[in-house]
Amino acid sequence: MVGIVTFSRENSKRFPGKNSYNTNGKMLIEYTLNIMQKLRHDTNYVNCFCFSDNEEILKKCNDYDVCGVKEPKELTEISNIKLNKWADMLIQLDNYVLLQPTNPIRDYDLIKKWIDFCFYGNIQSAFSVYKKGNKFIENGNFYYYTKDFMYHNNHVKSNDSILLQDKYFCDIDYKEDLKKCEDFLKNKK
């Protein structure tokens, strides 16, 4: 079984409220919830979880058949690795996919192909990158890791992780970053 996880906090320091920000008639998190819903309905080995401190986002999870989990207030400032360990304590699976809500541009078929590759290939850790010139840039689109890998490496990726080349780069940390992705999202509707 694979757990698809996203963390959708409301208190972003660089772009407050970004996950519930309305872009092209949807909250930013809905682009991720939509992919999670498709994965849940199209496969027999996926469960989906959205951890959030925002009640509106947790209610929206129901529309997408994603399990919304209230994130305790004391966790809102903790790093991702601690959050992943906390999420694992609740979910207790051996394999995870982390989809960051800050990258709403995803190719569903590619995500499904990556999950199958990692799950059936017994991959310990993989994450998506975008090729820009001669460099590969982590794009926050997709992270795959096993529980054992996370606990032994203290993070969801390492130098031993497999790089999966993505077609798109979109990582929304600031409001200005959203503008770069909005036109693409509008045309993808």
Domain coordinates in residue numbering, the chain? 2-188
Select, from the ranges 10-19, 113-122, 146-155, the one with the highest average predicted confidence (pLDDT). Answer: 113-122
* Multiple choice CATH, 2-188, 1.10.287.1120, 3.40.605.10, 3.90.550.10, 3.30.479.10: 3.90.550.10
**Does residue 108 have a pLDDT over 90?**
yes
Does residue 78 surpass a pLDDT of 70? no
Please answer whether residues 84 and 113 qualify as being in contact, where contact means their C-beta atoms are separated by less than 8 angstroms: no
Report the predicted TM-score, pTM, of the whole model to 2 decimal places: 0.90
Q: From CA 51, how far away is CA 16, in angstroms rounded?
A: 17
The span from the CA of 144 to the CA of 96, in Å, is 6
3-state DSSP assignment of residue 26: strand
pLDDT tens digits along 23-66: 888 999 999 999 999 999 998 888 999 999 899 999 999 999 99
> What per-residue confidence (pLDDT) applies to 37?
96
